[in-house]
Amino acid sequence: MNARQFFDKVVEMRRLQKEYFKSRSHLTLEKSKAVEREIDQEIKRVQDIEAANRPPEPNLFNQ
């Protein structure tokens, strides 16, 4: 997912959340939760990439 797709997905998530709190529709809640899971998965994916690319921290005790 690129930055634009992520932005669009967050916009959709917020729209669904607002719609749910207005209507309390079970269907809208399920859609909102599904999009939230997608956002959470994307955040984890990017965090994992960043962690893999981060140089290891030096250990002061093993020098």
pLDDT in tens, 2-56: 999 999 999 999 999 999 999 999 999 999 999 999 999 999 999 999 999 998 8
Residue 32 sits in which domain range? 3-49
H/E element holding 53?
A: helix 26-53
- Judge whether 60 lies within some domain: no
Please tell me the predicted confidence (pLDDT) of residue 63.
62
Total domains in the fold of the chain: 1
Q: Is 36 part of any domain?
A: yes
- Say if 31 falls within a structural domain: yes
Give residue 62's pLDDT. 72
- CB-based contact 28:20 (threshold 8 Å): yes
Residue 39 lies in a domain: yes
Taking a C-beta distance cutoff of 8 angstroms, is the pair 48, 39 a contact? Answer: no
Please report whether residue 32 resides in a domain: yes
Q: Is 57 left (phi over 0), alpha (psi -120 to 50) or beta?
A: beta
